[in-house]
């Protein structure tokens, strides 16, 4: 095979195109609101032509979740781990996530926040995969905390599970405020809360690695 464009390659290509659009739509309308006819229309394809790529709606949903995972890893996780696995990487990870949602690449904000809440009461392979992936994400967060401790940049008194929980919650909260109110300030509030925690538990040698905190509230009355 001389050139990478074969007869099959076109099929794979369309599949990728389909899934990219699918992630986009599902982040806003949900995986149930993601309709085969609508998706086909958006891509100027026939329903049956598109359908043939997946065989069932459920497989389309799973494939969409998988595609979203790839994007998330490529856009958020991988760019954050180019450093020395210390405090900076931990901060970078959270900051990148917030920036990614803030940039509005997906109409519906964080794909996983949206579909997790949609499927948390719908047993089945779709829900299971979503749960797995978000557990992966939480584990990545926890690992980043532990790495910062190993690097001697974060106090050992911090419970990585606890901090990961809090950071994840702040991210969900920022995403919620942005989606419901278009409130971009929410990202600043999430960053503020995260930095406050990181600064408080950073070791002396590491505290200079982080951005500085916002000035505290003016001590004036009221």
Q: Which residues bind DNA (CB under 7 A)?
A: 5-12, 14, 34-38, 40, 44-53, 55-58
| Residue 157's binding partner out of DNA, a second copy, none, with CB under 5 to 8 Å set by partner kind | a second copy
On whether the CB atoms of residues 174 and 189 are closer than 8 A, the answer is yes
Question: Which one of a second copy, DNA, none interacts with residue 61, CB within 5 to 8 A by kind?
Answer: none
Q: Rank residues 11 and 152 by Cβ distance to DNA and give the closer one.
A: 11
The partner in contact with residue 51, picked from a second copy, DNA, none with C-beta cut-offs of 5 to 8 angstroms by kind, is DNA
Distance (Å, whole) CA 97 – CA 175: 10
Look up residue 217 and give its DSSP letter.
Answer: P
- Residue 82's SS3 state is coil
Nearer to a second copy, 5 or 213 (CB): 213
For residue 6, CA distances in Å to 1, 11, 73, 143, 189 come to 8, 9, 28, 42, 50
Tokens (6 digits) for 134: 């978000």
CB of 124 to DNA, least distance (A): 12
Smallest separation, CB 41 to a second copy (Å): 18
Q: Rounded distance, CA 152 to CA 154, Å? A: 6
In our burial notation (b when 16+ CB lie closer than 10 A, e otherwise), range 128-150 reads: ebbeebbeebeebbbebbbbbbe
Q: Decide if 98 contacts 174 (C-beta within 8 A).
A: yes
Shortest distance, position 47 Cβ to a second copy, whole Å = 21
Binding residues vs a second copy (CB under 8 A): 28-30, 32-33, 107-109, 113-114, 116-118, 120-121, 130-131, 134-135, 146, 149-150, 156-159, 161-162, 165-166, 168-170, 172-174, 176-177, 179-181, 186, 189-190, 192-193, 216-217, 219, 221-222
In whole angstroms, how close is the CB of 48 to a second copy at the nearest point?
26
């Amino acid at each position: 095979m001389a050139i990478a464009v074969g007869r099959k390659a076109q099929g794979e290509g369309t599949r990728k195109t389909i899934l990219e659009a699918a992630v986009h739509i599902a982040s806003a309308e949900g995986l149930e609101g993601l309709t085969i006819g609508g998706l086909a229309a958006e891509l100027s394809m026939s329903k049956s032509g598109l359908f043939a790529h997946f065989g069932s709606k459920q497989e389309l949903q799973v494939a969409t979740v998988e595609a979203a995972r790839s994007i998330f890893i490529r856009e958020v996780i991988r760019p954050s781990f180019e450093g020395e696995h210390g405090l900076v990487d931990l901060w970078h990870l959270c900051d990148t996530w917030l920036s990614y949602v803030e940039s509005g690449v997906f109409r519906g904000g964080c794909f996983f926040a949206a579909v997790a809440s949609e499927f948390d009461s719908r047993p089945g392979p779709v829900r299971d995969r979503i749960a797995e992936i978000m557990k992966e994400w939480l584990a990545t967060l926890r690992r980043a905390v532990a790495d910062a401790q190993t690097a001697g940049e974060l106090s050992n008194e911090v419970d990585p599970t606890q901090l990961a929980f809090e950071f994840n919650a702040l991210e969900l909260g920022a995403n919620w405020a942005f989606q419901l109110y278009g409130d971009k300030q929410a990202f600043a509030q999430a960053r503020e809360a995260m930095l406050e925690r990181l600064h408080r538990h950073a070791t002396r040698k590491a505290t200079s690695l982080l951005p500085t905190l916002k000035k505290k509230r003016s001590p004036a009355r009221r």
